Structure 1
Amino acid sequence: MSNLGLNNRNNSGQRLGITEPISLGGPNELDVTKTQELEKFLAAAGLYESQEEAVSREEVLGRLDQIVKIWVKAISRAKGLNEQLVQEANAKIFTFGSYRLGVHGPGADIDTLCVGPRHATREEDFFGELHKMLSEMPEVTELHPVPDAHVPVMRFKFSGVSIDLLYAKLSLWVIPEDLDVSQDSILQNADEQTVRSLNGCRVTDQILRLVPNIQNFRTTLRFMRFWAKRRGVYSNVAGFLGGINWALLVARICQLYPNALPSMLVSRFFRVYTQWRWPNPVMLCAIEEGTLGLQVWDPRKYPKDRFHLMPIITPAYPCMNSSYNVSSSTLRIMSEEFKRGNEISEVMEANKADWATLCEPYPFFEAYKNYLQIEIAAENADDLRKWKGWVESRLRQLTLKIERHTYNMLQCHPHPGDFSDKSRPFHCCYFMGLQRKQGVPASEGEQFDIRLTVDEFKHSVGMYTLWKPGMEIHVIHVRRRNIPNFVFPGGYGYKYVGKDKERKIDGSVRCSHPIKTLSSSGGSPSSTEAEKIAIEKIMSGPYVSHQAFPGELDELEDDVEYKNQVKDFTGSTKGSSAESSKANVAEEPLTTTSGTVPCTILSPNGGLEELEPAELMPPLSYGNRPSSTEQKKPIIRLSFTSLAKATGKST
């Protein structure tokens, strides 16, 4: 047990990070026990691959490395290079992402990068000759090149292992076998696609260099990824955080507590980020300007950077904000989850909660009274994949528009996954929880009409350049009790009984209790207060005073992302939670022949919360492209009037 937490770089006196650590304290017996329980919990959750699968992945990577070496020699000879250069010609395969970090699970894909010489082009040679070679191999299946993506990629399965292969063309005639991609010099004369493709490897390797104990970092990150998926906050495309973001947040905690074991690192993760005052940036190292003139994140120079709500900065040149997708709604949701995690972590120290309690799935479909349901459909699987990828890339715009147009008074909670009704082929749904901003009293007769907001969103989606007949989108309002059963595991919905909120899942009923009813002990007041002071200190950096209030964001940050997504027709949802539940129950529409079905809901503050559900877009016939002019009486109106006025009773 005493070996746990050793092999720590901090023991050599080397400081990692831009500030001093908060604590150099090592583990006690309770930390050792809790860490062992944590590791057992992760294993029981099926988060580790088998030895057989690990060997299979290594064999696939070795085979892929051989293939690109054969490929680069073949194209070198075809381009007329002399025989010496042909023999010296080389290409190399690097890994990055969760596989390189060592936190991937069973069946996860492998992010890979092929680095080639200056004469091996991306368009003709990588997406041409290499694609042809792979297509002729029987062990390669589901080969799908995406040359026009923001980061061009070739996706395929090799002997059953999913591969995402990027390409970087360096300015070298010969790629050395011992090439170090972390050196800034390899970016010299590189095109934008190459810089972006190299970024994944460079950031991943830099993270591993900047954490004091790699094994403790991996265990902690593996847990935090699992926790984030269970709590519904793991999705870059939905405006939450993706894999690289969680890795950077965990790495910073490892720097601040260099001698801590994973159990304490998880606890301190929640403690630190509960107190973190965004938009103070999280950085693993100082931002270097570099010598190549590439733009780095700096709100003092660049106005767009001032609108970032939750900046998490990558540590490799050019340093960038990896979390620009975060909106005020998703930041609020994640902050609430950090607070919940901190409360449960304190309870766990008194042995009144366990790791399973911390990772209890977020009850999304019982958390709100009202939801938006965004349905999409297509004529075949390939069209749906493309249409789905495009719509997903625009869903975050709906959240941003609703926030802006209601002055953040109507809050949105996008679900990070999609759901499918198996009885309806080539169809899937997305959901978004809606609620009035908490803690603000409702004004008499106050209404939020988001018809134009939805119309703008629909118009944005309709701009898809690869639109085909059959690609449809419908947006409707559904109340909690009308949520379709196919979103629940086993096809069972939620059931409410008495004062205790019970939910029925897979035919079983269990009661969910609020965490605050449990008693907590936490650390001693003096140590906790010292940590608070230390956390405040590490947030006093040069970038804070330059942050701007994002009240009128007006797509400033989204211009670049929009252009990138227009290019990306892959249907990829990387970084989003795909763990959605499916069943065979179709949803009954909430409309009648006369139009909308009004619903009146008593809100907790005594006001009358009225939502009039209707399809925000009429059914589309095949061959008709989505158009904002086709909308018939789209109404979602949030109305707050006094209870006395609504019921006709005197107060």
Structure 2
Amino acid sequence: MGESKSKIGDSTLSRHKATTIQFDLTKPLSLSGPSNADIRRNAMLHKFLITSGVYESLEETERREEVLAQIRQIAKDCVKQVTSEKGYSSKWVKNANVVIFPYGSYRLGVHGPGADIDTLCVGPYNVRLQEFFSYLHKILAKMDEVTNLQTILDSYVPVLKFKFQGILIDLVYAPIYFRIVPNDLDLSHNSVLGYVDKKAVPSLNGYRVANKILELVPNVENFRTTLRCLKLWGNRRGLYSNVTGFLGGINWAILVARVCQLYPNANPSMLVCRFFRVYTEWKWPNPVMLCPLVESNRRRFHVWDPRKYLKDRTSVMPIITPVYPSTNSSYNVSTTTLNIIKDQFEFGKKMCEQIELRNGQWDSLFEFYPFFEAYPCYLLINVSASDEEDLLDWKGFVKSRLMKLTLKIERAHEKLQCHPCTNAYTDESISPARHCAFFMGLKRKKEETTEEVHMQTNEEVNVLATGAQFADEVKGRYPNWKQTMDINLNLVRREEMPSYVFRQQSVYMLSFKQLSKLTNVTK
């Protein structure tokens, strides 16, 4: 089946007539380049990024490459072992191969110190997903340099998570209908989708999307610097988390890439300011797209199109991936979290206006959002288990469902604003291996007043009832739930907030500010 070819020929998409869908993509808004003032501001921004520690050291870069090389060999050994135990010939076992494709922030070139590496592993069709994960899990579990090993099969994209020599790896697997997987396999063509199972397409598209973004931006280095800025800003303002209903890495990358297209000759300091100008004026739910959509008339895959699909019409902040089959990457954003994002974009716009008028510094834009000062009341979600291994899986499952809790509160209590915190906290008086806590800020919507409006007693009771219902649902749906695992929810006044929150928040803020002092940066 063309097993020695890396450039895949005709396939499901190319054999059938494809159509393009255009959603009013515009030409550049400005072709202007930087002025002398923009150049000065850009130099100051670059200096700020270095002192903020967003660049990793050369030593860490080399260690990542070594780790990826070791994982590639381990994965290849795993495939050979599975192939051998299935009774295939010695020649087949000898030629068994996998190819590793880093994606996400590492592929885009915007990863920082301590960042994880999203890794796609493409293997032969005779080694299925669960077989590969099962064998690889056994191999990794015996290695001293591997910790925090987790297999997550029930997610949209099944993933094997682990730390290898202290570097976090998120590994996904896609078997391709080749007997031998060539080392120069090219995943960029849509035709590759005809050689994989439909369920494997989301695993492939993480890498394909990252590659396409780099193709579609007019200046890759300016894109990377601007994206580093917005990732840092999103982290500090509490907006960097797809799982809790905000924006994940791919969302930020597409948003930044679109601004780069609109201002192709702008330098990063200009692009950061234009970012906030563009998205404070954006008329959501108009989609953010980098190129026209492509759709096959065979309709093997669902391509995002609100004119045809009711589900696509419910998106409040659609950010569309630029490869076939295009999807809405920001499906977790709700009405509540969109309003929070819009408020923060307004903050960013005001700070950038002051910087451009020479009345502000870049530090003011990147201030940490004072989450535990912003609300009169907080919903505290305590998660516990009997040991570290159980807690790792259990808290991950709970966090992945927090967006649903936000939606429950949003729908059941229309007068309340619910703001999930993207970080988890731990009470030091309890073993960290057995406990963690999540928080959601709560207050009544302001309506026409600018004064802080506190929750009322009956609203608090109703929120706790909603929380109890959520806790029961989470316990019931977690496949590995044990009697020693628990989740309970309580309301905490701002003035009664436990002290461990502020201690850990200080450590979190300090880690951002002092990363550059701990590494020799590459830039």
Quote the Cα distance in structure 2 between the aligned partners of 1:197 and 1:368.
39
Quote the Cα distance in structure 1 between the aligned partners of 2:510 and 2:35.
39
* Equivalent residue number for residue 28 of structure 1: 35
Residue from 290, 307, 313 that aligns with 1:306: 313
* Equivalent residue number for residue 431 of structure 1: 439
2:124 paired with 1:120: no
Quote the Cα distance in structure 2 between the aligned partners of 1:81 and 1:353.
67
Is the partner of 1:289 in helix, strand or coil? strand
* Equivalent residue number for residue 403 of structure 1: 410
Deviations 1:316-350 (A, max 9, x none): 11111111111111111110110110011010012
Is the partner of 2:338 in helix, strand or coil? helix
Shift of 1:264: 0.4
- Structure 2: any 5+ residue segments left out of the alignment? 1-23, 512-523
Question: Residue type matched to 2:313 in 1?
Answer: R
* Equivalent residue number for residue 96 of structure 1: 103
> Would the alpha carbon gap of residues 159 and 462 (structure 1) be closer, same or farther in structure 2, given more than 3 Å must change?
closer
Residue from 329, 333, 336 that aligns with 1:326: 333
2:286 paired with 1:286: no
Shift of 1:190: 2.3
Is the partner of 2:313 in helix, strand or coil? helix
CA RMSD between the two structures:
2.5
Map 1:220-235; keep pairs closer than 5 Å: 220-235=226-241
Residue from 471, 480, 483 that aligns with 1:469: 483
Deviations 1:49-85 (A, max 9, x none): 1111111111222232233344444544554545554
* Equivalent residue number for residue 182 of structure 1: 188
Is the partner of 1:317 in helix, strand or coil? coil
Question: Residue type matched to 2:503 in 1?
Answer: P
Quote the Cα distance in structure 2 between the aligned partners of 1:239 and 1:174.
40
2:151 paired with 1:158: no
CA contact (8 A) 2:464 2:490 kept: no
Is the partner of 1:488 in helix, strand or coil? helix
Residue from 360, 369, 378 that aligns with 2:367: 360
Shift of 1:422: 0.4
Is the partner of 1:111 in helix, strand or coil? strand
Map 1:554-565; keep pairs closer than 5 Å: none
Larger radius of gyration: 1
CA contact (8 A) 1:419 1:580 kept: no
Shift of 1:401: 1.7
2:467 paired with 1:460: no
* Equivalent residue number for residue 262 of structure 2: 256
Is the partner of 1:462 in helix, strand or coil? helix
> Would the alpha carbon gap of residues 351 and 121 (structure 1) be closer, same or farther in structure 2, given more than 3 Å must change?
same
**TM-score w.r.t. structure 1 length?**
0.69
Is the partner of 1:429 in helix, strand or coil? strand
Deviations 1:164-222 (A, max 9, x none): 22111011222222211121122115224411211111111111111111111111111
Residue from 392, 404, 407 that aligns with 1:385: 392
Is the partner of 1:65 in helix, strand or coil? helix
Quote the Cα distance in structure 2 between the aligned partners of 1:387 and 1:81.
39
**TM-score w.r.t. structure 2 length?**
0.85
Is the partner of 2:396 in helix, strand or coil? helix
Deviations 1:278-314 (A, max 9, x none): 1111011111113561011111111111111100011
List 4+ stretches of structure 1 deviating above 6 A: 578-581
Deviations 1:411-464 (A, max 9, x none): 11111111111011222222211222212479xx99644354334323322313
Residue from 272, 275, 283 that aligns with 1:269: 275
Task: Percent identity, please.
Answer: 52
Which of the pair has the greater relative contact order for Cα pairs under 8 Å at 6+ separation?
2
Q: Tell me how many residue pairs correspond in the alignment.
A: 477
Is the partner of 2:295 in helix, strand or coil? coil
Quote the Cα distance in structure 2 between the aligned partners of 1:378 and 1:130.
26
CA contact (8 A) 2:150 2:393 kept: no
Residue from 482, 496, 513 that aligns with 2:496: 482
Map 1:329-344; keep pairs closer than 5 Å: 329-344=336-351
